[in-house]
Amino acid sequence: MVFMYKRSKNVHPEAALVRREWTIRLLELPPEILSRRRQLLRWVALSLGLISPGDERDAVIDVLDAIFYYIHGKDVEPSVEQIHVFVNRRRQERGEKPVVMEAIRYHLRRLEAAGIIEKTKVRGGNYRFAKGFESSYADPAAFVESVFEQILSSKQLIEKAVRNLASLYK
């Protein structure tokens, strides 16, 4: 006989404490991919945990491509519609199926949740790299600094918790 039971919603109240999650992978950066846009986009997505090793789904890479194109190629903070058009134009050039608008929004929300991009307050909200947006035009890697500042903040809290935990055993 198999017993099935539901967990109470209050069993794990610490879930409400989670502000953000990251997966950071330490990858080699072969020199041959440094001049290949699509491979670099995939490398960045993989190293920031946006995709998994061997992942065939690549819509998030196309969304990142659109954001880099508009922000660093056109000096424009793109709308979701502009990103959608760009992504499907690139996919059509590669002979791939188009991505529906809801999938674009899903990946934009994931990038926002990861602290990589943020939505502006302007009509409908365009997208830009998070924190240090003023410097993200001059320094494309400024958003990475923001992510790692938050990771270091998390590291400090973990160290404090472990020290307090150890003191409770004395």
**Cβ-Cβ contacts under 8 Å for 112 (sequence gap 6 or more):** 118, 119, 130
- Report the pLDDT value the prediction gives residue 135, as an integer from 0 to 100: 53
Give the pLDDT confidence score for residue 162 in this predicted structure. Answer: 74
Q: Is the pLDDT of residue 1 over 50?
A: no
| Each residue's pLDDT tens digit, 129-149 | 876 544 555 677 777 777 777
Domains of the chain: 35-167 (1.10.10.10)
Predicted confidence (pLDDT) per residue in 64-117, tens digit: 999 999 988 898 999 999 999 999 999 999 999 999 999 999 999 999 888 788
DSSP assignment of 80-113 equals HHHHHHHHHHHHHHTT-----HHHHHHHHHHHHH
More confident residue, 34 or 103: 103
CA 120/CA 157 separation, integer angstroms: 30
Q: What is the pLDDT of residue 60?
A: 95
Helix (H, G, I), strand (E, B) or coil at 67: helix
Which whole number is the average pLDDT over 47-56?
A: 86
Average pLDDT over residues 46-72: 90
pLDDT at residue 3 tops 60: no
Is the pTM higher than 0.85? The answer reads no
159-169, pLDDT tens digit by residue? 877 777 778 77
